[in-house]
Amino acid sequence: MLDARSSHTNTEQGLIIRSPELAGEVLNLLDHDKGESSYHLRLTPDRNGIEWVGLEQGVETVLDHDPDASLLLRFGLKILGPFAPEEPL
């Protein structure tokens, strides 16, 4: 079952699998991937920003911006970001 709210509210998706065999296959796929197709976020050492951390061919890659956001989108978010209410975030 997918959580429909997540597709409208944020980028996270939830999935409940009621099959031990299928759940095992999904876990094997995620373990095999080892983060090659995803990023995790962490605070910068000075704690004033966010870093996107991923793997490329087994080597950790650290970016200071969303790797899937265009320059135009990042510019727009920088301009409009201060006006966004924090409650939904």
Distance CA 66, CA 74 (A): 8
The model's pLDDT over 44-68, given as tens digits with 9 standing for 90+, comes to 999 888 999 988 888 888 998 888 8
Residue 28 above 90 pLDDT? Answer: no
Q: Has this prediction a pTM greater than 0.75?
A: no
Q: Return the closest-CA partner of residue 65 out of 33, 37, 35, 39.
A: 39
pLDDT value at residue 1: 46
Residue-range domain boundaries for the chain: 1-33, 36-89
3-state SS class at 75: helix
pLDDT tens for each residue of 62-85: 998 888 889 999 899 889 888 887
